[in-house]
Structure 1
Amino acid sequence: LALRAELRRRGAFEAAQQPRIDALLDLVALGTIADVGRLDDNNRRLVSLGLKRIRTGRMQPGISALFAAANRDPAKATSQDFGFALGPRINAAGRLAEMGLGIECLLTDDAARAQALARQLDAINRERRDMESGMREQAELMLEALMPKDEPPAALALFDPDFHEGVVGIVASRLKDRLHRPTFVFARGQDGLLKGSGRSIPGFHLRDALDLIGKRHPGLLVRFGGHAMAAGCTIAASSFDTFRDELQRVAEAGIEPALLARQLSTDGPLAPECFTAEAVAQMDAAVWGPGFDAPVFSEEVEVLGQRLVGERHLKLSLRVQGTVRDGIWFGRTEPLPDRAQLAYRVSLDEFQGRQRVQVVVEGMGD
C-alpha cells in the first residue's frame, strides 16, 4: 500500500488506473497468522478479508496447492489452517532443506509447479514431524533423569549430540508448553558450535536474560538475539554447563514464583444450546490469535471413560451438563479422576460424513 501510494504521488499512475493489490490478501492473511502477528483491529480485518477471498476460491496457486497437500478444504478455511497446516509446511523447508522452496511455492503463477512444490514441502514437513517427535521423546527422557522429583528448575537448557539444528525451536516450544518454564534446546552446528533456540513464558524476557548472561560471562555467547518470548544464541560446546547454570540463576532471580504456575483464562461454562455443529462452525470461522484469543470454556465434568489412543493422547467420555460428550486431551497420558474441573474448547469431529461436537481439553484445575 505504501509503495503504491508513493508511485501514485510520483505520477506513475492515477488513482483510477492504479494496480489492484487486494488479490494479495491471501498472502497477507497467511503471513500475519503464521508469523504470530498480533491481531489488533487492522490485522484482524486484513486476515478476515484474506480468508473471505480464499473461501470463495480466489487465492494464489501456491496457497491452493498447500491446502490440497494438507488435505484441508479452502472453502472452510480458518486462521488455524494458516498456523497449523500451511505455515509449518512452508517453514519445514527452511529448517531441513532449502528455504527457497516455500518462497517459490507462494510466488509462482504456474499451478502445476505450485502443486509439485507443495507436495515436496509436505514430504519435508513429514520428515520434520518425525524428527521433532524423536527429539522431543529424547528430551523428555533427559528431563526425567535431570529434574528433581518435586519441582523442575526455573529454566531449562538441553543438548544432545543427536539433536538436529533445524527443529530445536519447535522442541523448545513443546517442552516450554508442557512444563511452563523458559526452555533452550541446543544442537551442534556444522561449525562445531552449539546453536540454541529458546522459548519463554509471560513475565520473563528471554532476550534480556541472554544479554545479562553475556555481561556476566564475557565471551560465553558467540552471538545472540531475539525478543521477549523467543530468542536464540550460539555458544561453544564447552560452555554449555555454564550457560545452563547461569540461565537457571537468572530465571530464579527474575521470575516471580506465581508466574511458574500455568494459568489459563477461560470464559466459564459453555451454554448447552451452543453444543451444536452450527455454533462450533461459527466459532471456527472467526479469526483468532494473539490479542484476540479463541474461547476456552471451563466447568466440572464427570469422567465416564478414558483410554490412550496413538500412545500419546487421552480419549475421553465425559458427562457435561448432564449430556455425554466425546472428548480428547492431546499429549496427555496420565489418567483423570472421576470428576475434574476441565478447561476445554470445542471442535467438530467429522467421521463417515457425520459431524459431532467434540470436547478438546486444554487443562485441568487443582
Structure 2
Amino acid sequence: MLAETDLLASARFAQAAGVPEPVARILLARGVQAEAAARHLAPRLRDLMPDPSSLADADRAAERIAAAIIDGETIAVFGDYDVDGTASTALLVGLLERLGARVLHAVPDRLRDGYGPNPAAFGRFVSAGARLIICVDCGTSAHAAIASVAGDADVIVFDHHGVSGALPAAAAVVNPNRPDDRSGLGHLCAAGVTFLAAVAVLRRMRGAGWFASRPEPDLLAELDLVALASVCDMVPMVGLNRAFVDRGLARIAAAPRPGLKALAERAGLRRALDADAIGFAIGPRLNAAGRLDDAGLSVRLLLADKEAEAEALADLLDRLNRERQAVERAVLAAAAAEAERQAEAGLPVVLVACEAWHEGVIGIVAGRLRERLRRPVLVFSLAGGTAKGSGRSVPGFDLGAAVRAAVASGLADKGGGHALAAGLSTSPDRLAALHESLCAAAACSVQPGPPPLALAGELVPEAATAGLAEALARLGPFGVSNEEPLFAFRGVLAHLARVGSGGSTLTLSLEGEGGAALRGVMFRADEGPLAAALAAARGRPLRLAGRLRRDGFRGGEAVALHVVDAAL
C-alpha cells in the first residue's frame, strides 16, 4: 500500500503533468520532475545529442576519413557478426558510398575466423587496394591484426567494448569506454558510436566544401539502424540511447528500408515495429546468418534498396532462423540437466560444456538457462580442441569485467563483452579453474532464487483502459535500466486456454469484483511451472502480475495483460 503522502504527491504530479496517476507514480520513482515529464515522455534527439568531439579520437578519425574520401582512397569496413556489428557496418558502408567513396566490407565467419579482426582479413583488404580500414563493434583489443598492416593501411576503431590493457596502435580508437575518454557516453552501442562519428565526418566534409556540388546525406535516415542495434545489444535504454531508439522506431514506421520490411513480413508482424518486436522477431533473424552461415547476408539485407533482393535475403534469413531454433532446442535439451544440477548445488555461476554443441547457438542457450536458473550461465563448445564460450549474466554481476579479469589472469586466451553478456575462449583443461574463479567472483553479488518483482502498483481490471496502456507506452522505449512497468491485478481466473503452435501461448480472463474482465496472454507457456499453476487455479481468486499493453490482435480499445507471474 502507498503511504498517504505518496498518494498525494503522485496525485499532484498527475495533475501538473497531465498523466494518469499510475504513470505519475512511476515517473516520480524514476526521479523525473513534473515540469520535465513532457520532455521525458517524448525524448528529442536535439536535446540530448552531444558534440561528437567529446569522444576521444573522434576528430582525428573524422579528419582521416574525410581525407580518404577527398583523395579517392579505397576504404574497408570490418564489422562484428552480431546485430550491432552488422548494423554498424551497414550504416558506415551506406554513408561512405553516398559520400562517393569506394568501399569494401567484411564480417568474420564465426566458426572459421572467430571474434574480431584478424591478419588474414586485413591482408585481403590491403591486397584489394584499401589504405584505410575501419573496425566497427570490434578492434579495441585487435593488436595483432592492426600491427599486421602497419605501413600498408591506417586503421580506425569505432567500438564500445570494455578496455583491458593498452590500446592498439591504430590511427584512432573511438571508444567511450577507453580509460581516458571523458564523454560520459559509455552506455552507447557501437552503432551509436558510429553514428556520432558519422556526424563528425559530415561536419568535416561540409567544412571542406564537399557538398557545394553534391547532396549531403540525410544521417537521420540511419537512425533505424542505430535503434535496431541498441535494442538487440541490450544497452541501457536511458538518455541518448532512448532518443536514438525512439527516433529510429519512428523512422521505421514512416519509411522502413526494404530489408526490414521484408523481414517483418516473414516474422508475421502486422503492426509497426517496436522495441519488443525488434528484440524477439527481427534481431534473431538477423543474428541467424552469423550463427549458422554468413553474417554478411545481414549486411546485404540492411543495405538492399531493391525489393526483390530484400525479399530473397529475408527468405534466406528466415530459413536460417528456423534451422537455428532447431539446433538451439537440441543444445538446450542436452545442457539443461547439468545446468540445473549445478544450480541445485548452489553454485552462483553455471558453466556447461560439450564437444557436440554448435558454437553459433551457445549464447542463446546461455540466455535461456539464465532466465530459467536466474544466475549467470556460460555455455562452451569444445569442438576442435578449443573451448569457445558465451555467457549471459544477471543484474549485479558484471560478466564482461569478470571475463576480462580471466584473460588477464591467464584463465582465458581472449574474451570480453558487457555486464550482461560476454564471450571468451580458453583451453578445455582450464575450464574447471575458470568456473571456480567465476563462482568466487560472483559469490557476493548473485543471490539464489528468483528476484522479487518490482511492481509499479496494484490495479483493478476496471482500470485497465486503452488510455492507461497508451500513457504507459510513452515511458518507453523499454530496455535495460528503463524496464517496462509491471502491475498486479486482483480477480478471479474465469477462463484459460492454450493456443498457437503446440499450445505454447496461454490466453486467460481475469474477472474483477465489479464484473469487468481483463484479457491476459502468456507467451512461451511451455517453459516453467507458471502455466501449470494457472491451469490449477481456474475459478479461484488470484493476483496476476504483468505488463499492460494495447491488444494489437483485437484492435480498437482492447488491452491485454502480458502475464509474467501469479500469486494465489
**TM bracket (short chain):** 0.7 to 0.9
Q: How does 1:250-261 map to 2 (within 5 A)?
A: 250-252=441-443, 254-255=444-445, 257=447, 261=450
Match 2:335 to one of 136, 139, 145: 139
Change (3 A) 1:241 1:340: farther
| One-letter code aligned to 2:385 | G
| CA distance in 2: counterparts of 1:204 and 1:44, whole angstroms | 23
Whether contact under 8 Å (2:460, 2:512) holds in the other structure is: no
Q: Aligned partner of 2:428: which letter?
A: A
TM-score of the pair, normalised by structure 2: 0.56
Q: Residue type matched to 1:221 in 2?
A: A
Aligned 1:133-212 pairs, distance under 5 A = 133-148=329-344, 152-189=346-383, 191-212=384-405
**Pairwise CA distance, 1:255:** 1.9
Q: Could you tell me which runs of 5 or more consecutive residues in structure 2 were left unpaired when the two chains were aligned.
A: 1-198
Question: Which of 294, 297, 305 in structure 1 is aligned with 2:487?
Answer: 297
Determine the structure 2 residue equivalent to 1:122: 318
1:71 aligned onto 2:268: yes
CA separation in 2, counterparts of 1:312 and 1:204?
31
**Paired position in structure 1 for 2:414:** 223
Counterpart mapping for 1:1-366 below 5 A: 1-13=199-211, 18-56=216-254, 58-73=255-270, 76-148=272-344, 152-189=346-383, 191-213=384-406, 219-252=410-443, 254-255=444-445, 257=447, 261-270=450-459, 272=461, 274-277=463-466, 279-280=468-469, 283=472, 286-304=476-494, 306=496, 310=502, 315-320=507-512, 322=514, 323-329=516-522, 330=524, 331-333=527-529, 334-336=532-534, 338-348=540-550, 356-364=558-566
SS at match of 1:221: coil
Deviation at 1:71, TM superposition (A): 2.0
- Write the deviation string for residues 102-123 of structure 1: whole angstroms up to 9, x where unpaired: 0000012121101100111111
CA contact (8 A) 2:391 2:421 kept: yes
**Structure 1 unaligned spans of 5+:** none
Q: Distance in 2 between matches of 1:344 and 1:134?
A: 30
Distance in 1 (CA, whole Å) between partners of 2:336 and 2:378 is 13
2:350 is matched by which residue type in structure 1? L
Deviation, 1:277, is 4.9
Stretch moving more, 174-183 or 77-86: 77-86
Code of the aligned partner of 1:205: D
Moved more, 88-97 or 133-142: 133-142
Identity %: 34
Larger Rg: 2
State the secondary structure of the residue aligned to 1:361.
strand
What is the DSSP-based 3-state SS (H/G/I as helix, E as strand, rest coil) of the residue aligned with 2:533?
A: coil
1:6 to partner: Cα distance: 1.2
Letter in 2 for 1:198: G
Judged with a 3 Å threshold, the aligned counterparts in structure 2 of structure 1 residues 248 and 308 are, in CA distance, closer, same or farther, namely: farther
Partner Cα separation in structure 2 for residue 297 and residue 352 of structure 1: 21
Aligned equivalents of 2:213 and 2:484: distance in 1?
Answer: 39
Residues 284 and 70 (structure 1), Cα distance of their counterparts in 2 relative to 1, 3 Å cut: farther
CA distance in 2: counterparts of 1:44 and 1:204, whole angstroms: 23
Give the deviation of 1:128 after TM superposition: 1.2
Cα RMSD of the aligned pairs, angstroms, is 3.1
- Does structure 2 retain, via aligned residues, the 8 Å contact 1:194–1:235? yes
Task: Find the aligned partners of 1:137 and 1:354 in 2 and give their Cα distance.
Answer: 41
What is the CA–CA distance in structure 2 between the aligned matches of 1:278 and 1:55, rounded to whole Å?
Answer: 21
* Aligned equivalents of 2:343, 2:244: Cα separation in 1: 45
Q: Give 3-state SS (helix, strand or coil) of 2:413's partner.
A: strand
Asked if structure 1 preserves the Cα contact closer than 8 Å seen for 2:339 and 2:369, the reply is: no
* Contact kept in structure 2, 1:342 and 1:363, CA below 8 Å: yes
Equivalent-residue separation in structure 2 for 1:144 and 1:158 (angstroms):
10
